Amino acid sequence: MIRDALPADLPAVRGLLVETWHATYDGIYGWQRVAEITNAWHSLENLSAQLGRESGAFLVALVGEEIIATSSARLERDRAALLTRLYVLPSYQGIGVGRTLLQVTLACFPQAPVARLEVESQNEPAIAFYERMGFFLQRQARFDGREDTPNTLLMAKRLFAE
């Protein structure tokens, strides 16, 4: 089941994010840096602030009562849908959960002509996943333009012809 995230979901979402970030990025940044990033970016306070945005989506995917994946996206000024998060627990990766969650997330923005995302330039499995989902490379940048943040690739996908 996929549904909007609720306040009661946030501890499980945070746990999912911490687990997937360590599984994905420890080999790139090291455990300590990943812990610093997840503590800053995925605090309960930051996650709570993302709930209920009128121009955005914050979704969770569940198997039974267990939250196994999460996504979030928002509408940009140019009407693009910006995917800001898509994470699936490692034990559920490779079986279509990410693909389905991505499709549902982008469907929350029916008027968006394009979807965009940023992905870590060394996260080859994610890059391959997004390419399979129809995204293409636009350019390389630093996340938020800051030097102390990950190298990212900016990717995009046309959602409908204007």
Chain segment 64-106, per-residue pLDDT in tens: 999 999 999 999 999 999 999 999 999 999 999 999 999 999 9
Strand order in the sheet with 114-120: 2-4, 56-63, 66-75, 81-88, 114-120, 151-158, 136-142
Chain segment 118-154, per-residue pLDDT in tens: 999 889 999 999 999 999 998 776 555 555 555 788 9
pLDDT of residue 58 exceeding 70: yes
pTM: 0.89
CATH superfamily, domain 2-158, is: Gcn5-related N-acetyltransferase (GNAT) (3.40.630.30)
Domain-wise residue ranges, the chain: 2-158
